[in-house]
Structure 1
Amino acid sequence: MNEHSNLQGSQSAEEIIALDKRHVWHPYTQHGVEVEPPVIARAKGASLFDADGREILDMISSWWTCTHGHAHPKINAALARQADTLEHIMFAGFTHAPAVNLAKALSDLLPDDLNRVFFTDDGSTAVETAIKVAYKSWVNRGQTRRTLVAFDGGYHGDTLGAMSVGRSSQMFGAFKDLMCDVRVVPYPATFEGDDAVEEREAGALSALEALLADHKQDIAALIIEPMMQGAAGLRMCRPSFLKRMVAMARAANVLVIFDEVATGFGRTGKLFAMEHADVTPDIVCLSKGLTGGYMALAATVVRDRLFDIFLGHDFDRALPHGHSFTGNPLACAVALASLGLFEEEQTMARITQINARHRTVLDVLAARPDVMRPRTLGSALAFDFGNDTQYQSDASLKLRAWYLANGLNIRPIGSTVYLMPPYCITDDELARAYATMIEGMDRLASGSL
């Protein structure tokens, strides 16, 4: 055991790669063709550094998790303090200050009576919890509602229920026979200069209205990524659509779940995307930026009146659900430190500045014949190129490899290039990223990638 524990820090990059090839199964990876990944030795601010000391700007925030930057000293200190006190305790039958204080902090930040927090490990489990809460709330009311409503292109995670409501995301065809009953309605994605958005919104709302009219007694809940679909290629909608959609669900007595795993904690320019439309769901799912990108933690937050449906004298009314690392004290302490930085470092103002910089480059992108549907929201910038929307299209893989070789962690999704940097990124770093991103598009257009 000691031999293995002493390896870290003394291994060469070649030794790490050899062990990786022999033992590791990476996510969303076809190992039959995947090239050797870089070995990341450390990170700081908006930058990653490989084993040779080469800098790579983390322009997608390590799958949208890193908020205030890598290795932030105040988050580091919070983690170290908590590790000296309590690293973990089961959360059934016990409680502790980090989890209680984080639940209170989230409740204070969220609108209305979103006050009851169920902690899990990641976005998938947050969504899975939300689906189970929605379904069992109807069982506790003496009704059986088995149908869920989701939106075309939505992605909500990789557990079975989460896959079911993300079935249109191209990821889960192999598992379709295992999925629960989900009805999918159109998503009216929009972009800068979009003249047809109202027509698409009308079509989507009409489809939802018909579905609610025909099946409202069977529908347990509706789920959506508010304002921006992540894995579909940062497809964005308007606040007015979100507001009307929620009103329709409310009128039909259907629960509304907001998946804010990717959109929460400032990504869209508001602390939570729901603020753009001034609407409150019955359930919200949070993860990714919750801990500033440090640790696995998620929260499913429900309204008081929904929580009350589970109260009683028999366990049959309770939620039979949990995880070994629910409410982990280390993760909760880190999340509290990250939340504190939003005010201390005026993070929302930083996001406004990033968005202003994004808007200056939108005009440059829009003028290119190979760029379609340029769009930005908060810290996110995206545009489409070509028509191959497969998750790992040939062009996207070539761009990803070229960007990485030239110091950028940019991971195109099919025919979409996007940036979603940590909020600590500087103007100079953004300028470097924009220039390199555009050079990559030039090379793709000329066939020199």
Structure 2
Amino acid sequence: MTISDSASHNSTSWVARDAASVWHPFTQHATWVDDEPTVVERAEGPWLIDVDGRRYLDGVSSLWTTTLGHCHPEVNAAITAQLAKLDHTTFLGTTHTPGIELAETLIASAPRGDGPELTKVFYAGDGSSAVEAALKIAYQYSHQTGRARPKFVRLQHAYHGDTLGAVAVGGHDLFHATYRPLLLETVGVPSPGDRALGEDRNATAVAALRSVMRAHGDEVCAVIVEPMIQGAAGMFDYDASFLRAARELADAHGALLIFDEVATGFGRTGTMWAAEHAGVAPDLLTCGKGITGGYLPLSAVLAAEHVYDAFLARPGDTGPRTFFHGHTYTGNPLCCAAALANLRVMAEQDVVGQAARLGERLRKLLEPLADHEQVAEIRGLGTMIGVEVRPRSARTGFDVCQAARRRGVWLRPLGDTVIVMPPLTLAEAETDLLVTALAEAIDEVRTAEVRA
């Protein structure tokens, strides 16, 4: 059964008004109206409801953020209660109880293993700004603990956000090539999840990282990676031994290790943090997306004590060691209250365990698609899954997502990789609907393009 794709006057008029005034991210507006964008009016649980009353399963957690589903009553109540007490106060020179409590909660949940204990929290606004802060912390740390090290080591195909520092340590030419003349100095190594490297891709990546650190280690202030899986690359998962090697090599050359857990944190990979799969702890950890359950923009950098200690002024210092970085809404109390409620519900209802089971079920249900002639590969970790379809046109991935939408499931592609990343508490019937709609959509697109 499919949903009618005939747009009513209501949605048509809203799209026209949007096209007249709005500039959307990652959007080619020359085709925006013809692509019939969904005009979302409200949401409940895993469902998005458009202005015409049509319901769509949110198959990508509203860009990988929704943990418990939309409009969860306990998170709603927490935000409302906080709003009645304190809407906002600057974090420069004042503090507040939800910001303190959230920092304590994040530190208590931080990954443990080979590496330092993470003991301090610096708040930011979104994933990119958390990465930006972490890069500046790493560089200033090197400056204040010996000598400034100007280089960062990054993975090819990496994605860490779209501010200039985050772009510099990314590896997506489609997104970043235009800005290369403006960027920081980085050294790239092959991605351990890159299938083009063959069966020995992890060993190849480790060898390349070892070689880079041997050549540039004394100039490198930090190595930055997305642990266990590279999301925007197309869900390229990789072996945990790479993270253990990165920890060893960063330590050997006096560099910091940064884990970007903006996408992978808060249960997405079946553990609270992706780093737990490897038993490794970084010096700096960035998080965002799922921190508030998709409610409000908030992110954070978790830092090890030795990093924080380098920013403390001491007698005889010739200059300030302060980290001069922040923004107006740093640690906004409404955001912190939403995050606290989200993390409390996650703990009480074992949402991380639910996510692990959901990931296993999704992979099992998707297994038959691996033999589909239109499917090149299915890959991922936990609830972070990519279904790569074989291109038959310039926009095959997009066409599959449009066909799924007609079946009541909202998905978004990364090129020809269709991303499957639903809320972590998705029920069995809704999981079945998601996979069935995707399978039927792939069939529809294959049939239509064969006929063409």
Of the three residues 175, 178, 200, the one matched with 2:179 is 175
Moved more, 42-51 or 16-25: 16-25
Aligned mates of 1:305, 1:119 — CA distance in 2? 18
The residue type equivalent to 1:303 in the other structure is A
8 Å CA contact 1:154–1:169 kept in 2: the answer is no
Corresponding position of 1:184? 188
User: Residue in 2 aligned with 1:23?
Assistant: 21
Question: CA 1:105 to 1:174, structure 2 compared with 1: closer, same or farther past 3 Å?
Answer: same
The residue aligned with 1:118 is: 122
Alignment match, 2:144? 140
Equivalent position amino acid for 2:243 in 1 = L
Counterparts of 1:368 and 1:407, CA distance in 2: 22
Look up the equivalent residue of 1:278 and give its one-letter code.
Answer: G
Is the Cα contact below 8 Å between 1:64 and 1:288 reproduced in 2? yes
Cα contact 1:190–1:238 (8 A) shared by 2 = no
Contact kept? 2:366, 2:435, Cα under 8 Å = no
Q: Paired residue for 1:6?
A: none
Matches within 5 A, 1:202-217: 202-217=203-218
Residue 412 in 1 paired to residue 435 in 2?
A: no
Superimposed CA distance per residue, residues 55-108 of structure 1 (whole angstroms, 9 cap, x where no aligned partner):
100000000000000000000000000000001001100000000000010001
SS of 2:142 mapped into structure 1: helix
**Could you say if the C-alpha distance between residues 224 and 387 of structure 1 is closer, same or farther in structure 2, counting changes exceeding 3 Å?**
farther
In the TM superposition, residue 412 of structure 1 has moved relative to its aligned partner by 1.4
Contact 1:91 1:326 in 2 (8 A): yes
The verdict on how the C-alpha distance between 1:75 and 1:438 changes in structure 2, with shifts beyond 3 A counting, is same
Unaligned runs of 5+ in 1: 1-10
Alpha-carbon distance in 1 for matches of 2:133, 2:215: 27
| Shift, 1:16, TM fit | 3.1
* Distance (Å, rounded) in 2 between the aligned partners of 1:31 and 1:190: 31
**Within-5 A mapping of 1:382-397:** 382-386=386-390, 393-397=394-398
Deviates further, 350-359 or 313-322 = 313-322
Conservation of the 8 A alpha-carbon contact between 1:402 and 1:440: yes
Paired with 1:408 and 1:161, the residues of 2 have a C-alpha distance of 35
Query: How far does residue 47 in structure 1 lie from its aligned partner after superposition?
Result: 0.6
Work out the CA distance in 1 between the residues paired with 2:251 and 2:145.
17
**How far off its partner does 1:240 sit?**
1.9
> Which residue of the partner structure matches residue 319 of structure 1?
323
* 1:249 to 1:387, Cα distance in 2 relative to 1, 3 A: farther
Contact 1:123 1:287 in 2 (8 A): yes
What value does the CA root-mean-square deviation take over the aligned residues?
Answer: 2.0
Aligned to 1:334: 338
Secondary structure of the corresponding residue to residue 172 of structure 1: helix
What does 1:8-407 align with in structure 2 at a 5 Å threshold?
12-35=10-33, 36-110=36-110, 111=112, 113-189=117-193, 196-197=198-199, 199-312=200-313, 316-386=320-390, 393-407=394-408
TM-score normalised by structure 1 residue count = 0.92
CA distance in 2, matches of 1:369, 1:242: 34
Q: Distance in 2 between matches of 1:439 and 1:293?
A: 29
The aligned counterpart of 1:439 is 440
Determine if contact 1:264/1:272 at 8 Å carries over to the other structure.
yes
Give me the whole-angstrom Cα distance separating, in 2, the residues matched to 1:14 and 1:385: 30
CA distance in 2: counterparts of 1:79 and 1:190, whole angstroms: 42
Q: Which residue of 1 aligns with 2:5?
A: none
Q: Secondary structure at the match of 2:122?
A: strand
Cα deviation, residue 190, structure 1: 6.9
Gaps of 5+ in 2: 1-8
Displacement after TM superposition at 1:357 (Å): 1.2
Which one-letter code corresponds to 1:149 in the other structure? Answer: V
Residue 7 (structure 1) aligns with: none
Q: CA deviation at 1:359?
A: 2.7
Q: Secondary structure at the match of 2:327?
A: coil
Give SS of 2:215's match: helix
8 Å Cα contact 2:268/2:424 also seen in 1: no
How high is the sequence identity, in percent, across the aligned residues? 39
Give the deviation of 1:373 after TM superposition.
2.8
